[in-house]
Amino acid sequence: MIAFLVFLALCVGGGVLTLLVRERHAAVVATGFGMLAGVALIVSAAQGLAGAVWQLPLWQLPALGRLTLGVDRLSAWFLLITGLVAVPVFLFSARYLRHYAAHYRTAGAAGIALFLLASIGLTLATRDVFGFLFAWEIMSALCYLAVNFEHLHDATPKAGLIMLVASEAGALLQLVALLLLAAHAGSTQFDVIAAHAAGMGAGLAWAIFALSFFGFGVKAGLFPSMGWLPRAHPVAPAPASALLSGVIVNLGIYGIVRVNADLLPVVMPAAGVIVLLVGALGAIIGILYATIETEFKRLLAHSTIENMGLVAMGIGAALIFRALHQPVFAAMALIAALLHLLNHSIAKSLLFLSAGAVDTATGTRDLNALGGLIHRLPWLAAACLAGCMMLAALPPTGGFASEWLLIQSLLRSAELASVPVRLAFVVAGALMALTAGLALSAFTRLFAMAFLGMPRSAAAQQARPLPASMRGALVLLAAGCIALGLLPTYIVAGLGTVVGTLGLHGGGGALVPPFYAPGSALPGDFVASFHALGAQLGSSLLPPPGLVLMHRGDAASPVAFAAAPAFLDIALVLGLLVLWLVVRAFTRTRRLARQRAWDGGLPELQPQLTYTATGFGNPARVIFAAVVAPNAAQVEEQTVAHQFRAGIKRTERQPYALDRWLFGPLLGGARRIADAFAAMHHGKLNGYVAYALAALLLALGVAFWI
């Protein structure tokens, strides 16, 4: 509890001090307080995960109940992610905010970031309905201010307003869901609500599920309410984008899990199917747009939609397994989802900060205008490569383990009896497989077009070196990507205790059997069969639970699936080393000459003739034209003579898919209704008197009927 209160004091005190000091010192002051607050938050979260849960009753509000702070293992997990992201983000901000000093007051951005971090911590630590809603509204307002920082740009106010309106629409749904829970329990305290959940009727349970899932789903960027993300990210400063995709979208996932797995555990398999399929649709739509996008930050925003969809798939699978009385499978699926949430937060924060670094060094985030940055910015290239590999689910990063566990969790549906549910899993699994393939393509394209090849513009050719603080922040996050891939078994074992507080026991032990833990209850012949595979490797160096991720099946199939990410990483490094030795041995006996690239008779390859990000993504645009193709195109030709064409300008409007499919028709219908009502304003007094008389008669009729 003390560590959390210190965190709040650092955030609030640092935010106030940042606004009071001189402008040139504000970013440094905010960096110091923000990093210390992040460390305090990590300490508080570690204490909560270790079992030191606490509650602190605050004020009694008339007719609203008592405000209460507290941390349990579930909220501690989200607080841990927040702290791990906050430290490098504030370190990066120390020099990055100077980028805006000529046009904006950077003290405002630094202070808002500290207050925003405090509101995030409060949202995760409140243990009552009204305290949670109050903290949520503060967080949403501060998030709007952080995104709207560059308000002098024409697109910024509109994007910020769309984000705020979407957030408030979701908050209204959350409000109704939480008030229904409080009314049923007769209390606003989360503990009391959870204790009274068993007696709730099916109709009310369905209403609370729908309101909470789609309400919190807005903040998480889930289908169909994810359109605000690709609008908000390109206009926000890089540190704000890192917090937005690395932390704030997690709050939507937290709300979904808190309500539907803790306060009112879902008992309807159909509800889990809805979450599963909504997540699958969001994942595939998000990665399709990421595959064709050429603006660095907008590409990452679409990737956030994809990864939140993957997390939702894990949550949906957990809800289904729990409703069908498969608690171990449910625990495994939820562990995979929470592990992927951590991996995504670290990698996406890294890549958004990388986008800010690219913008600082070159002045552009257009992938078509970049290229060759690996030669001028090798540290940035190495860090960005780690983030791209993480989100492409490649070893040796943590993304491989979490997505592999998600896929394996979906495959456990083969043991369910319900055919419709199994069919839903088949559809979701197929969409996830396609999503994984497109993610590999999207992040290969991102890294290649930004850092490899030759510079395709003067800005890329003259990229400026990065300050040490920005490089340090990127290295911290890149090291996190690698560390999460080396020892995921220890994180999975810890997550077993987190999901155990939700009534889902056995997941950690099922995924990480204690092969060499003292007093292991596993059969001797079963353990011995894995000794030959190296399950005991490292037992003298590492404590239990070991290095193998697996699920133990029945007697007929003792191992349902198994993998050892650490061993895989070692094999990968050894393979690369062998390849390097072979190449060195081969080139030692042959003389190699390096020459300029030659192209079609030209003395050297020109940047205009190289592959671009648009060309790389065009196959996906053609294949999935029904989703991502533009709905309008305009071609203008300017000529100086009939036989000479001086220039062509092609303009495309590419509205978001859901704008065409859902929100566009809804907006059109609303406008038609408004136009019909507008026709009633004709300026004739007799008509207005008739309207009033008709309204009076209708009111009298209703009153008489009642």
pLDDT digit string, tens, across residues 214-242: 999 999 999 888 888 988 988 899 999 99
455, part of any domain = yes
User: Torsion angle, CA of 24/29/35/39, rounded to 10 degrees?
Assistant: 180
Place of tokens 């396609």: 434
The reported pTM is 0.89
517: pLDDT strictly greater than 60? no
- The residue type of 116 is L
More confident of the two residues 578 and 591: 578
Least confident of 83-92, 485-494, 651-660, 668-677: 651-660
Question: For the segment 175-184, what is each residue's pLDDT rounded down to a tens digit?
Answer: 999 999 999 9
Asked if residues 422 and 413 have their Cβ atoms less than 8 Å apart, the reply is yes
Q: What is the pLDDT of residue 593?
A: 73
Pairing verdict, β 549-552 and 559-563: antiparallel
Q: What is the pLDDT of residue 620?
A: 82
Stretch 590-597: mean pLDDT: 71
Residue that terminates a domain, selected from 488, 512, 536: 512
Number of structural domains (the chain) is 2
277, part of any domain = yes
466: pLDDT strictly greater than 70? yes
Distance of CA 529 to the CA centre of its chain: 39
User: What's the CA gap between 316 and 323, in Å, rounded?
Assistant: 11
Residue that terminates a domain, selected from 458, 493, 512: 512
Distances from the Cα of 171 to the Cα of 68, 216, 260, 563, 650, angstroms: 20, 7, 16, 41, 41
Contacts with 146 (C-beta within 8 Å, 6 or more apart), sequence order: 109, 112, 113, 116, 236, 237, 240, 243, 244
More confident of the two residues 682 and 437: 437
351, part of any domain = yes
pLDDT category of residue 351 using cuts at 50, 70 and 90? very high
The tokens describing 589, both together, are: 């006996």
Stretch 149-175: mean pLDDT: 89
User: What's the CA gap between 604 and 661, in Å, rounded?
Assistant: 47
Residue that terminates a domain, selected from 512, 528, 557: 512
24: pLDDT strictly greater than 50? yes
Q: What is the pLDDT of residue 645?
A: 47
User: What's the CA gap between 134 and 392, in Å, rounded?
Assistant: 37
More confident of the two residues 592 and 280: 280
More confident of the two residues 115 and 197: 115
Closest CA relative to residue 289, chosen from 226, 201, 343: 226
682, part of any domain = yes
What is the number of other CB atoms lying within 10 angstroms of the CB of residue 603?
9
Provide the 3-class DSSP secondary structure of residue 196: coil
pLDDT category of residue 353 using cuts at 50, 70 and 90? very high
More confident of the two residues 681 and 18: 18
117, part of any domain = no
74: pLDDT strictly greater than 90? yes
User: What's the CA gap between 283 and 429, in Å, rounded?
Assistant: 11
User: What's the CA gap between 564 and 511, in Å, rounded?
Assistant: 11
User: Torsion angle, CA of 52/58/61/63, rounded to 10 degrees?
Assistant: 30
Domain range for residue 681? 657-705
Residues paired with 240 in a beta bridge: none
User: What's the CA gap between 606 and 663, in Å, rounded?
Assistant: 44
Stretch 285-313: mean pLDDT: 93
Provide the 3-class DSSP secondary structure of residue 552: strand
CB burial of residue 176 (10 Å; 0-12, 13-18, 19+) = middle
600, part of any domain = no
Question: For the segment 242-260, what is each residue's pLDDT rounded down to a tens digit?
Answer: 999 999 999 999 999 999 9
User: What's the CA gap between 43 and 298, in Å, rounded?
Assistant: 34
354: pLDDT strictly greater than 90? yes
Q: What is the pLDDT of residue 312?
A: 96
Q: What is the pLDDT of residue 644?
A: 47
494, part of any domain = yes
User: What's the CA gap between 510 and 28, in Å, rounded?
Assistant: 47
What is the number of other CB atoms lying within 10 angstroms of the CB of residue 378?
11
139, part of any domain = no
